[in-house]
Structure 1
Amino acid sequence: MIRMDTRIADVKAIEEVVAAVERTQRARDVEGFLALFHPDALWTTAHGKVLVGLDAIAEFTRAVLPGATWDGEVTYEAVHTRFLRPDVAAVKVRQAYRSAAGDTEGTPLYVMTRQDDGRWLLHACQNTEVRP
C-alpha cells in the first residue's frame, strides 16, 4: 500500500514539473525544458508532429522555442493526476495562452515516470490544441 504522504509528495513533485514546463516555455529556456524529459520520451505537438526520443525532441525544440513569439502569457496547470502505478502518472494539463489577439487553450496529457532518484520526468506526451 502506498502511504498518503508519499502520494502527496509525488503530486507536488509532478505539479512542480508542470510549473517548470511553464517557466521554461515563458523564458524560451531550451535546455531547461529538455531537462524535464526522459531520454526515451515521446512527444506529439499540438499540430500532430510526432517526436520519438530526446534527440528528436531536442532538435525540434532548439528550432522553434528560441524564436517563439507571443504577445501575452502562457500558463500551465496540472488539473488531474491519475497514478497508473506508483512510479507512473497520467497528468491532464490546462494550458492557456492569453494575448491581445485572443485567448487560446491546449489540453496536454503528460505520462510521467518517477526515476530512481525520485525525480518525475515527462515520458509520453500529447499536446492537443482546443478548438472553439
Structure 2
Amino acid sequence: MRTDRPTVEAFDATDATRAAEVAAIRQVVADASEFQDDVERFIPLFTADTTVVNFGGRRVAGRDTLAEAMRQALASPLADVVTTLEEENIRFLRDDVAIVASIKHVSDRRQPGADGESVTPLHASSGRLTHVLVKEEDTWRITSSQTTPILG
C-alpha cells in the first residue's frame, strides 16, 4: 500500500481549511465595505504598512495616514459617496497571501452646497478594486488596495 498519497480525510481537511480562509477573507472585505464611514472599525482591517490607492488616484501609505485621510474625507461632501462591492474572485498566492478582485459600484449622493456651489461629478460610476490581504498572527488584513475607475 502506498503511503505517500494523501488520504481522502487529508483532502477534506485541506478543503475545509481553505473554505474557512476564504470565508475569513470575504468577511474582511465585507467589513471594509460596511465600515467605509466608520474610521475606528475600518482602520484595524489594514496592516500598519498598508498602501491604498483610492478611486481618484490618491495614494495613501500607512494605516495612520489612511485614518487621517478617511477622517478628512468623511468631514467633507465625499461622505455622501457610497460604494458597494461585487466580488469577482479570490486567488491565493501563498497560504498567507490572497488577492481579491471586485467591482466597486459608486453612488454619488452629494448635493450642491448651500451657496449653490456645484458638485464636480465623479469620472466613473464603477471601478475594479483589487485588495491584497496577508495573514498576520491568524488574522487576515488588507495590505494593499487599489481602485481603477472603469471609464465609458
Tell whether the structures are fold-level matches, with TM greater than 0.5: yes
Q: Which runs of 5+ in 2 are unaligned?
A: 1-10, 110-120
Report the CA distance between 1:36 and its aligned residue: 0.8
Pair 1:36-2:42 in alignment: no
2:53–2:147 CA contact under 8 A, matched in 1: yes
**1:48 — aligned with what?**
57
The structure 1 residue matched to 2:127, chosen from 103, 106, 119, is 106
CA distance in structure 1 between the partners assigned to 2:72 and 2:125 by the alignment? 23
Alpha-carbon RMSD: 2.3
Cα deviation digits, residues 10-60 of structure 1 (max 9, x gap):
1111111111122112xx111111111111111111222111111211111
TM-score (norm 1): 0.84
- Could you list the runs of 4 or more consecutive aligned residues of structure 1 that deviate by over 3 angstroms after TM superposition? 98-101
1:94–1:106 CA contact under 8 A, matched in 2: yes
CA distance in structure 2 between the partners assigned to 1:130 and 1:49 by the alignment? 16
Please identify, of 74-83 and 37-46, the stretch whose mean Cα deviation from structure 2 is larger.
Answer: 74-83
| Aligned residue identity for 1:89 | A
2:134–2:143 CA contact under 8 A, matched in 1: yes
Q: Which runs of 5+ in 1 are unaligned?
A: none
Instruction: Give 3-state SS (helix, strand or coil) of 2:25's partner.
Output: helix
TM-score (norm 2): 0.74
Residue identity (%): 32
The structure 1 residue matched to 2:136, chosen from 92, 109, 115, is 115
Instruction: Give 3-state SS (helix, strand or coil) of 1:108's partner.
Output: strand
Report the CA distance between 1:66 and its aligned residue: 4.4
**2:97 — aligned with what?**
88
CA distance in structure 2 between the partners assigned to 1:30 and 1:124 by the alignment? 17
CA distance in structure 2 between the partners assigned to 1:125 and 1:104 by the alignment? 18
**2:150 — aligned with what?**
130
CA distance in structure 2 between the partners assigned to 1:109 and 1:8 by the alignment? 20
Cα deviation digits, residues 64-119 of structure 1 (max 9, x gap):
0344114xx63113221110010000110121124689x82121100000111x22
Bigger Cα Rg: 2
